[in-house]
Amino acid sequence: MDADSDVLGTGRRMTRTHRVLIVGVGSIGQRHLRCFQQTGRAHVAICEIQAEARDEAARRYGVQSVYADLDAALPADHDAAVICTPAHRQLPLATRLAEAGVAVLIEKPLGVGLEHVDPFRRIVQRNGLAVAVGYVLRAHPVIADMRRAIQTGRFGQPHELTAVCGQDFPSFRPAYRDIYYARRETGGGAIQDAMAHVVNLGQWLLGPVDRLVADAAHQKLPGVEVEDTVHVIARHGRVLAQYALNQYQAPNEVTVTVVCDQGTVRLEMYRHRWRWMTQANGQWQDETYPDQPRDALFIRQAHHFLDVVENKGAPLCTLDEAEHTLRTNLAILRSVAQRNWQDVGHY
């Protein structure tokens, strides 16, 4: 399959245009806005309580349907919405939209606690709505192909996973001191932010996390007190896993190695490849892909979500899977605070 064609959605049969409401137009909201526009399958409206941000996004992207809050937006006829607010507001807003019969794509991490998950799930089930959660790494063709190779048994039974990740966060999010990241109660800190992506990726590759122990600290990032460094030891069933992440190193890297009984598999996202070795002291065999611009992954995710709305496929990340990642995030936070092992449980 041509990865670029699939990412951009070319060759798909465009059967309908969806009325998509983007709720929150900060950095991630604007990314979703332009990427849904680029699918060619969406008429996009925005909902934003901050007047300056609302006006700037409408002007930049040529949006005609603009709302100051959900009270103003909900009478309009939207069939889908994307929740791009800080984590503590995501599920309350998604619940209001679901009550109005609107399908929702919710940005990760879904929330900062579990209290809103079950009420939201009941409304979604009652109204028969499409729901997905925005763990966008699942839209990456390199990761999807590596996962397929592991899950089909090509390399035998997995035994160990090691993930090493980091980036210079201020280069990517210069305003991090002034947004949700600066406070844990709004979803900030490395555990609820970047580590959530990595743990969800491990979950997608190997299944749910049973138990874990973690350490974390604020080591370097200026202007905040939340943790910027996280180490986790975990169990995915019988598979041992370790995750290490920081948000201040110079290289921007995500490297995930899965050791199986018939070979070793490695994701190197910064090199746009996955690779494998099946003989002791052998040679790496590489599957290399074109560079994936970040917007391309979000366009691919948008297409998948619209397919779900049209009953043409399953979500890239389901509500149940995202709830498990949230439970894992909360277990990591508890482990750091209590300095002990924590059970996570299955979904």
DSSP character string of 133-177: EE-GGGG-HHHHHHHHHHHTTTT-SEEEEEEEEEEEHHHH-TTGG
Burial 265-293 (b: 16+ CB within 10 A, else e): bbbbbebebbbbeeeeeeeeeeeebeebe
3-class state of residue 93 by DSSP: helix
CA distance 166 to 84: 23
CA distance 215 to 242: 12
Size (the chain), residues: 347
Q: What is the CA radius of gyration of the chain?
A: 20
Q: Is the peptide bond before 109 cis (omega within 30 degrees of 0)?
A: yes
Within the chain, which residue ranges are assigned CATH 3.40.50.720? 3-136
Hey, how many other C-beta atoms are within 10 angstroms of the C-beta on 315?
A: 21
| DSSP at 193 | T
Give, to the nearest 10 degrees, the angle between helix 194-206 and helix 141-151: 30
Strands ordered across the beta sheet of 248-260: 285-288, 273-277, 263-268, 248-260, 158-168, 239-246, 229-236, 211-217, 342-343
CATH tag for 3-136 (out of 3.10.180.10, 1.20.58.60, 3.40.50.720, 3.30.70.20): 3.40.50.720
> What is the pTM for the complete model shown?
0.94
Residue 296 in tokens: 């391309």
Q: What is the mean pLDDT of each run of 10 residues along the chain (347 residues)?
A: 38 74 97 98 97 97 97 94 97 98 97 97 98 98 98 98 97 94 96 98 98 98 97 98 98 97 97 97 96 93 97 96 98 98 86
Spatial CA neighbour of 260 closest among 147, 137, 139? 147
- For domain 138-289+319-343, the CATH architecture is 2-Layer Sandwich (3.30)
pLDDT at position 1:
32
Backbone φ and ψ for 277, nearest 5 degrees, come out as: -140, 130
Token look-up 């190193």 returns 249
Within the chain, which residue ranges are assigned CATH 3.30.360.10? 138-289+319-343
